[in-house]
């Protein structure tokens, strides 16, 4: 684990990068009224355990992530191919 400083709001907080292993990453699917199907998942890239604690005494974590979005769009909503 590596010590880091992160900014939370107006405050600089110390923390430790925590190694992790993804147990499961699934897509959430959303059927839109226009016939499109959106699939989205969040992929965690880093986790920092801070030196801050909740009222119940648990450490707080800062989680960094990226959203992955896949769209399955009906043909009638697609931009027409340019004629060459």
Q: What is the pLDDT along the chain (84 residues), one digit of tens a residue?
A: 899 999 988 999 999 999 999 999 999 999 999 999 999 999 999 999 999 999 999 999 999 999 999 999 999 999 888 765
pLDDT of residue 81: 80
Give the domain ranges of the chain: 3-74
Q: Say how far residue 4 (Cα) sits from the centre of its chain.
A: 20
For residue 12, give both structure tokens: 């600089």
pLDDT of residue 52: 93
Q: Tally Cβ neighbours within 10 Å of residue 61.
A: 12
Q: How far is CA 42 from CA 12, 26, 27, 51, 72, in A?
A: 26, 8, 8, 25, 18
């Amino acid at each position: 684990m590596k010590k880091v400083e992160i900014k939370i709001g107006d405050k600089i907080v110390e923390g430790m990068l925590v190694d992790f292993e993804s147990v499961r990453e699934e897509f959430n699917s959303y059927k839109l009224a226009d016939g499109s199907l959106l699939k989205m998942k969040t992929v965690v890239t880093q986790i920092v355990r801070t030196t801050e604690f909740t009222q119940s005494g648990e450490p707080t974590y800062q989680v960094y992530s990226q959203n992955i979005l896949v769209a399955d769009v009906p043909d009638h909503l697609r931009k027409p191919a340019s004629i060459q």
